[in-house]
Amino acid sequence: MVPATAARGAPAVGATELEPEDRPLFRVRGDGALAVASRGLVYVRRGAVSWFTGRLRFAGDPSFAGTSVENLLLCEGRGDLLLAEPGRRSVSRDTSGEALYLEGSRLLALSPGMRLRLDPIRDFRTRRRVDILKTQGRGTAVFTAAGEIEAHDVSPDFPLTLCAGDLVAWTGDLAASVVEDRFLDEVLAPDGANSPKLRFEGDGIVLTESRRS
């Protein structure tokens, strides 16, 4: 449990005098930071909070320990927060009930009405895994990216292969697997982190980040 804290005195810079329910839950600012108007419950990433106002409590989920989503915290209370990650901008995606799969380390904030669980992509032969967070329900997910986001239409005739380090999210009826093929090391651009290669098959949309030169 992260210790409960309370903010008193003058509002932080950027806060308004409107009640949280009078403002959108998430608002991406021009500088790429994310303004959050908490109405009682919201998920946020540990270490990304620049400031907050109100009486808020933060608690982690022990089931995420040891994974790339262990920094996801449940924030309880009413107030305002500013979330930011240096060198990256916030990108939001609304869902109306369909499942949304997110590469775990990119998730910045999540609406409380969305159910979530860890659903990693595993290669049992090499014991490599990519931590994926499956979210479902009506709400908004906010993730971070340094480059441009690209959407790829995947179909049975056009599967998609990419480096896991470029993966952002996906929706649809897709099967994801780790591909171990030395030939791919010669074809795909190196990502610097030697991340696993992934293959998506089925019908759906995959979001990736374009690496900057």
- pTM of the complete model: 0.81
Q: Tell me the two tokens of residue 23.
A: 């403002």
Do 98 and 157 reside in the same domain of the chain?
Answer: yes
Q: Tell me the two tokens of residue 111.
A: 């609406």
Do 116 and 187 reside in the same domain of the chain?
Answer: yes
Rounded Cα distance between 12 and 158, Å, is 50
pLDDT of 33: 96
Q: At 97, is the pLDDT very low, low, confident or very high (cuts 50, 70, 90)?
A: confident
Do 26 and 93 reside in the same domain of the chain?
Answer: no
Q: What is the mean pLDDT of the chain?
A: 84
How many CB atoms are closer than 10 A to CB 88? 18
Which of 62, 83, 104 represents a domain boundary (last residue)?
83
Instruction: Say which CATH number the domain at 115 has.
Output: 3.60.160.10
Do 102 and 141 reside in the same domain of the chain?
Answer: yes
> Which residues span the domain enclosing 136?
89-209
Read off the pLDDT of residues 22-56 as tens digits, 9 standing for 90 and up.
788 999 999 999 999 998 888 999 999 999 999 99
Read off the pLDDT of residues 144-201 as tens digits, 9 standing for 90 and up.
999 899 999 999 999 999 988 899 999 999 999 988 777 676 677 666 567 788 999 9
